């Protein structure tokens, strides 16, 4: 009985020390992310997330927090996309963070605008918004040079114009609903304005 009480006392005394031990910090592994990306993501996003088909986003240099958030929302259905939902369903949160670390570590390659007639309008909207319709400047959240703000707003500079335009149209139509702020902004833009700002973003360096 005495030995049992002694053992219990030792366990109780040890509890505070165990409780005060810091939890292990998870560190994403870009190498593990590369293995997943080259086996799963490569078909649409190329081997390193670079300038593949313009209908798919460039992932190079994107903030890892943003990529993890999007994968999480594809998996949950908060961002609707049947193809991405299927791929993300097989990924754990740790897998997503590994993949995000892999793409984020890459240097994004420069893009280019395609329609010179729209560049001026696109720049005006990106840098100054449209005051008459209370459209805020894109630069306010995505920064003047399009690099975004880590953990808050994605990098846009150099993104395919076709992809950006399709996402803006999705926000406006409500088919992409995982960013209420962007839905409200896109609702105030017409087709030409969306095309102009998308093209301007593509050429940002």
Residues 72 and 95 in one domain: yes
| Per-residue pLDDT, 160 | 97
In the block, tokens 């304005």 appear at 193
For residue 122, pLDDT beyond 80: yes
pLDDT digits (tens, 9 = 90+) for 162-184: 999 999 999 999 999 999 999 99
Residues 195 and 125 in one domain: yes
| Per-residue pLDDT, 22 | 65
Residues 48 and 68 in one domain: yes
| Token pair recorded at residue 201 | 């973003």
For residue 138, pLDDT beyond 70: yes
Decide if 67 contacts 59 (C-beta within 8 A). Answer: yes
Which residue range(s) make up the domain with 133? 116-202
| Per-residue pLDDT, 109 | 86
Residues 157 and 92 in one domain: no
Decide if 64 contacts 100 (C-beta within 8 A). Answer: yes
| Cα(150)–Cα(65) distance, integer angstroms | 7
| Per-residue pLDDT, 108 | 87
Residues 178 and 147 in one domain: yes
Classified as helix, coil or strand, 138 is coil
pLDDT-derived band of residue 10, with 50, 70 and 90 as boundaries? very low
pLDDT digits (tens, 9 = 90+) for 179-201: 999 999 999 999 999 999 999 99
What contacts 162, CB < 8 A, 6 or more positions away?
54, 55, 198
Residues 97 and 36 in one domain: yes
């Amino acid at each position: 009985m005495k030995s049992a009480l002694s053992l219990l006392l030792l366990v109780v005394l040890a509890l505070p020390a165990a409780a005060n031990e810091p939890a292990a910090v998870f560190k994403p592994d870009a190498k593990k992310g590369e293995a997943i990306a080259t086996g799963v993501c490569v078909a649409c996003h190329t081997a390193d997330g670079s300038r593949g088909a313009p209908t798919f986003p460039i992932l190079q240099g994107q903030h890892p927090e943003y990529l993890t958030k999007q994968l999480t929302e594809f998996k949950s259905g908060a961002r609707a996309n049947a193809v991405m939902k299927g791929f993300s369903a097989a990924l754990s949160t740790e897998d997503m963070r590994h993949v995000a670390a892999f793409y984020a570590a890459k240097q994004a390659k420069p893009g280019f605008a395609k329609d010179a007639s729209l560049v001026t309008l696109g720049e005006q909207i990106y840098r100054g918004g449209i005051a008459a319709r209370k459209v805020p400047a894109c630069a306010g959240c995505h920064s003047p040079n399009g690099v975004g703000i880590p953990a808050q707003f994605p990098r846009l500079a150099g993104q395919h114009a076709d992809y950006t335009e399709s996402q803006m149209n999705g926000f406006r139509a409500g088919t992409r609903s995982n960013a209420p702020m962007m839905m409200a902004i896109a609702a105030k833009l017409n087709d030409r304005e969306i095309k102009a700002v998308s093209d301007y973003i593509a050429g940002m360096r």
